Structure 1
Amino acid sequence: MMVVVEQAQGSERHRALAGRFEAYLRADVEELIGVYNPTYFRRMLAELGGVGTAKLLMEPHRSSAYGFERLWELGQLERSWEFAVLLPWFAELFTDDDLDEARRRLVLLDFDVDARLAARTAPAWVATLPA
């Protein structure tokens, strides 16, 4: 729960961005319902928020192996939290080590991170974030 307290104490920009990150993750989860229902991940989002969930799953002794593998099987790694962490508009929520770990996990499955990131454009809400 420390992560939630940490988020609440962040800047207005950080809180707004963290909220957008969580909304992004939740939207992807909802689109997957029917082919994959990530119950544990949804519970983590409810308890820890998006940033807290991603940071917890990045810890060395943790793994999102089942969900990550299922997304890979479905050809949906762009819906993984690992990919979301790497989106340029969310990257400031994470440390360089976090970003490296997310990228490492995707690259291990031959996911072309750079090409997929290059194909994305920043959403309009990015321009409205507090400074």
Structure 2
Amino acid sequence: MDNEQAQAALAHEFEAELYEGYRFLARTINYRAKQFLDMVTVHRGVGAAQILLRGPNASDGFTRLWQERMLAHSLEAVVLKPKYGQLFTAEELLTARYRLEQHGFDVEDYLSSQTA
């Protein structure tokens, strides 16, 4: 598998994880983020993440997950998983980390619980 195919496979895995996260949050806290789901469908997972990370502020969905103490299931947390790091720029990764840390999320503890 060449690098381009590997990147495409990784992007597909990232997108699948976003859809699974959506289903998990719908089941556990009855949160159905239709706008987020539409964005992932239209822009694909990586594209939706890039759009959301370019915004000046965290999304309404991020705020809802913070209120529910579910930031480990946020787009920002998924973006920071080591296996997906190559899909994003350094700036996007810093934005994701900053938003989580600003809301009291222990990024280092979360990352230490992830496997590459």
Whether the TM-score (by the shorter chain) exceeds 0.5 is yes
Distance in 2, Cα, partners of 1:60 & 1:24: 22
Q: What is the CA RMSD across the aligned residues, in angstroms?
A: 1.4
Question: 1:59 deviation in Å?
Answer: 1.2
Task: Tell whether 2:37 aligns with 1:42.
Answer: yes
The residue identity in structure 2 corresponding to 1:75 is R
Relative to its length, the structure with more helix (as a share) is: 2
TM-score, length basis structure 1: 0.81
Task: Specify the structure having the higher radius of gyration (Cα).
Answer: 1
Number of the residue aligned with 1:27? 20
Distance in 2, Cα, partners of 1:52 & 1:80: 16
Task: Tell whether 2:76 aligns with 1:82.
Answer: yes
The residue identity in structure 2 corresponding to 1:52 is G
Question: 1:64 deviation in Å?
Answer: 4.4
1:1-131 equivalences in 2 (<5 Å) = 11-34=4-27, 35-61=30-56, 63-122=57-116
Determine if contact 2:52/2:59 at 8 Å carries over to the other structure.
no
Structure 1 segments unaligned to the other structure (5+ residues): 1-9, 123-131
Structure 2 segments unaligned to the other structure (5+ residues): none
The residue identity in structure 1 corresponding to 2:39 is M
Distance in 2, Cα, partners of 1:54 & 1:40: 13
The residue identity in structure 2 corresponding to 1:95 is T
Q: Which runs of 4+ in 1 moved over 4 A?
A: none
Q: How many residues align?
A: 112
